[in-house]
Amino acid sequence: MHYLPNSDHVESHFESTELVRDVVIGMSDGLTVPFALAAGLSGAVGSTHIVVLAGLAEIAAGSIAMGLGGYLAARGDVEHYASERKREEKEIVERTRDEEEEIYAIFEEYGVTRDESDSVLTALKRNPQAWVDFMMRFELGLEKPASFRARQSASIIAFSYIAGGFIPLLPYMLMQQEASALHASVAITLAALFIFGAIKGRLTGGGTWKSALQTVLIGGLAAGTAYTLARLLSVHPSF
């Protein structure tokens, strides 16, 4: 009797973790930092125009800084992978026996005996590049980064930061009354933080409600702290 695989069985795994990570980094900072800045300035100045100008300047500087940070981090991953791969290629030639023992040790972690591992080791030794690939993944836990990863990461983080940053500034752009703009900014930004946190939790499996509430809490604390400090400094400028 032959086993026939169930054609209706489809495994669903989320594979865009790097993309989501970049969006999360850019959007969360983009929502939080300009929100805190706008709230802080609202506690010290009475002009929506000044808040908007300062917010736009912050978004420009923040998106560039965050994008550059993402680029450098991704480039670092590429360089680290290349360095480790070069080392592994050298070791399978110069320290072949040690590398063989590492293969056995890896399989032993999964309950595979040395005798059972021999056939796999023999096959890997026939293909040195596959051997290196195996060691990179299972010994070092490294996946080869995409060649375009650095540019992609920088762009996604920067644009996500800009998109998030405009949300708390919109009320100040559309309203003349600073107090009304502040209240509207708080409302729409907290709503955006909640929605963004929920989506992030859903995609990453971290829990929709838990992620949403954590994101709102962090953004609210940042803005509340900035607003309180600005109010204190405006009332007591000697500080």
* pTM for this model (two decimals): 0.74
Distance CA 237, CA 41 (A): 14
d(CA 116, CA 169): 63
- Whole-number Å distance between alpha carbons of 163 and 151: 18
Give per-residue pLDDT as tens, 13-54: 444 577 878 888 888 888 888 888 888 787 677 688 888 999
pLDDT confidence bin for 109, thresholds 50/70/90: confident
The CA distance from 24 to 26, in Å, is: 6
Name the phi and psi angles at 216, rounded to 5: -65, -40
Is residue 67 within 8 Å of residue 158, measured between CB atoms?
yes
Q: What's the CA gap between 220 and 32, in Å, rounded?
A: 8
Asked if 202 and 186 count as a contact pair (C-beta separation under 8 A), the reply is no
How confident is the model over 111-139, as pLDDT tens digits? 888 888 888 888 888 888 888 888 888 88
| Average pLDDT of the residues in 157-166 | 93
The full length of the chain comes to 239
User: CB-side exposure of 44: number of CA atoms within 13 Å?
Assistant: 19
Residue 7 has pLDDT above 70, yes or no: no
What pLDDT sits at residue 59?
A: 93
- Tell me if 20 sits within 8 A of 61, measured CB to CB: no
> Which residue would you say has higher pLDDT here, 5 or 35?
35
What is the chain's mean pLDDT, rounded? 82
Task: Determine the average pLDDT of the residues in 53-58.
Answer: 92
Residues 6+ apart with CB under 8 A from 187: none
User: In sequence order, which ranges of the chain are alpha helices (DSSP H)?
Assistant: 17-42, 48-94, 96-108, 114-126, 128-138, 149-174, 178-204, 208-235
Mean pLDDT of 74-83: 89
Phi, psi of 227 (to 5 degrees): -65, -45
Question: Residue 99 to residues 60, 89, 111, 137, 140: CA-CA distances in angstroms?
Answer: 50, 10, 19, 14, 13
Is residue 198 over pLDDT 80?
yes
Residue ranges covered by each domain of the chain: 18-228
